[in-house]
Amino acid sequence: MARELLLSRRGFLVGCSLAASPLLTPVTFAAAPGQNRLVVIVLRGALDGLDLVRPVGDPAYGALRPSLLKGEGGIALDSAGFFQLHPGAAALMPLWQAGELGFVHAVATPYRSRSHFVGQDVLENGSASDQGTLTPGGDGWLNRALVPLGARQDLAVTVGQEPMLILEGDVPVAHWSPIDDSSLSAQGEALLARLYAEDPLLASAYPGATDLRHDGGAGADVQPVELGAYVAERLRGEARIAAFSYGGWDTHQNQSKVLAKRLGELSETILALKQGLGPDWATTLVVAITEFGRTARENGTVGTDHGTGGAMIFAGGAAKGGRVLGDWPGLGDSALLEDRDLMPTRDVRAYAAWALRSQFGLGVSDLEGVVFPGLDLGADPGLVL
């Protein structure tokens, strides 16, 4: 499997500039029974939900963000005009109109401090801790979902250099990365293999490393469209779950420009997924989640600082979109968390859990006990048709 994947990957990888975009990191896949598909995108750096889906109908909003709202206006999402979409994501409007794109507002993980690093770990680990303590295994929630989901264990593959926590865990995940061909003889390889087999820290990484050295192509510069097309190609094959991360959302300054660029790239990726999936887009759900939101008020450098409540994006032919879900807590002074952040009104893990349940029929006890320990699944938000 790994080998076939590698060969097919060569088709689209371009260049070999290692100064390439560090924003796109590993892609992970797993196969599962049935035709339904799930793509989880981890937006690293804390996406500003209040700028992505602008609550312009909230009387407090305008005063909180005078500079950020000076630029190009948003795109009305509903006839009441309460929410507007950031213009950087304009390319997604046809999906919205077709009911294939929706948002969830005012969500957060249970973590209540504002460290990126802990926040991302919690987001990928699925912990219920407000302190950022990880579950005992310290593994990823998507990995824990693979077993009850009946995933074929040999089909999970990560693409990229670094491990990605969301799919790390007991279910083995193979890696792929572009690296030069190996030139050791079979004898040299055998000598190394024997040494590694005895090393408790390194033994598990070695077989994958050997495959990579034998199969690697060249080049690591993956562009959004190519990434989307590649993920789609795998999902049209045996893979049913894909996860990858996309960084660069930490907009402490110059937010208008930075966010527009990132949203444009994210939109391209999602549209490339749709195009690449063709008829299989109909059974696909994409969710994009981030470690936390950003401050309700803009900061002094035309940006925003680390906050709490944020937004989740969901899309796909399977999605019941055209809606902004979630209980809107308001932005008035008394409504803000600690007088600074959008108050989260629901656990983002509940939406992730419902995504797994809707697409793959995962049981409540598995979701509340294994995948997201301590989660109250709550009412079905109806992410899918």
Interface contacts to other proteins, rule CB under 8 A: 18, 22, 66-67, 114-117, 160-163, 174-177, 179-180, 182-185, 187-188, 191-192, 194-196, 198-199, 201-202, 205-213, 216, 247, 252-253, 299-303, 305-306, 338, 340
Considering the complex, state which of residue 114 and residue 274 has its C-beta at the smaller distance from other proteins.
Answer: 114
Q: How many helices (H) and strands (E) does the chain have?
A: 12, 13
Considering the complex, state which of residue 157 and residue 260 has its C-beta at the smaller distance from other proteins.
Answer: 157
Cα 209 to chain center, whole Å? 26
Provide the minimum distance between the beta carbon of 272 and other proteins in the complex, in angstroms, as a whole number. 24
CA distance 264 to 92: 9
Provide the minimum distance between the beta carbon of 245 and other proteins in the complex, in angstroms, as a whole number. 11
Provide the minimum distance between the beta carbon of 247 and other proteins in the complex, in angstroms, as a whole number. 8
Considering the complex, state which of residue 279 and residue 300 has its C-beta at the smaller distance from other proteins.
Answer: 300
Q: Which helix (H) or strand (E) holds 271?
A: helix 255-277
User: Residue 304: beta bridge partners?
Assistant: none
Considering the complex, state which of residue 35 and residue 161 has its C-beta at the smaller distance from other proteins.
Answer: 161
Provide the minimum distance between the beta carbon of 331 and other proteins in the complex, in angstroms, as a whole number. 18
Cβ–Cβ under 8 Å, residues 371 and 306: no
Cβ–Cβ under 8 Å, residues 295 and 336: no
The CB-based long-range contact list for 179-186 (8 Å cut-off, 24+ gap) reads 179/212, 179/213, 179/216, 180/213, 180/216, 180/218, 181/213, 181/214, 181/216, 182/210, 182/213, 182/214
Provide the minimum distance between the beta carbon of 107 and other proteins in the complex, in angstroms, as a whole number. 20
Provide the minimum distance between the beta carbon of 284 and other proteins in the complex, in angstroms, as a whole number. 27
Considering the complex, state which of residue 79 and residue 183 has its C-beta at the smaller distance from other proteins.
Answer: 183
Ordered DSSP codes for 155-209: EEEEESSS--GGG-SSS--EEE---PPP---HHHHHHHHHHHHT-TTTTTTHHHH
Query: What sign has the CA pseudo-torsion 91, 96, 97, 99?
Result: positive
Considering the complex, state which of residue 101 and residue 173 has its C-beta at the smaller distance from other proteins.
Answer: 173
Cβ–Cβ under 8 Å, residues 157 and 28: yes
Provide the minimum distance between the beta carbon of 326 and other proteins in the complex, in angstroms, as a whole number. 24
Could you count the other beta carbons within 10 Å of the beta carbon of residue 18?
10
CA distance 228 to 235: 10
Provide the minimum distance between the beta carbon of 135 and other proteins in the complex, in angstroms, as a whole number. 16
Report residue 124 as tokens. Answer: 């990928």
Provide the minimum distance between the beta carbon of 313 and other proteins in the complex, in angstroms, as a whole number. 23
Considering the complex, state which of residue 60 and residue 209 has its C-beta at the smaller distance from other proteins.
Answer: 209
Considering the complex, state which of residue 35 and residue 131 has its C-beta at the smaller distance from other proteins.
Answer: 131
Measured CA angle at 177 (ends 171, 178), to 5 deg = 165
- SS3 assignment, position 205: coil
Considering the complex, state which of residue 251 and residue 284 has its C-beta at the smaller distance from other proteins.
Answer: 251
Considering the complex, state which of residue 9 and residue 357 has its C-beta at the smaller distance from other proteins.
Answer: 9
Provide the minimum distance between the beta carbon of 193 and other proteins in the complex, in angstroms, as a whole number. 10
CA torsion 117-119-121-127 (nearest 10°) is 150
CA distance 28 to 21: 18
Which of these, 249, 199, 327, 281, lies nearest to 89 by C-alpha position?
249
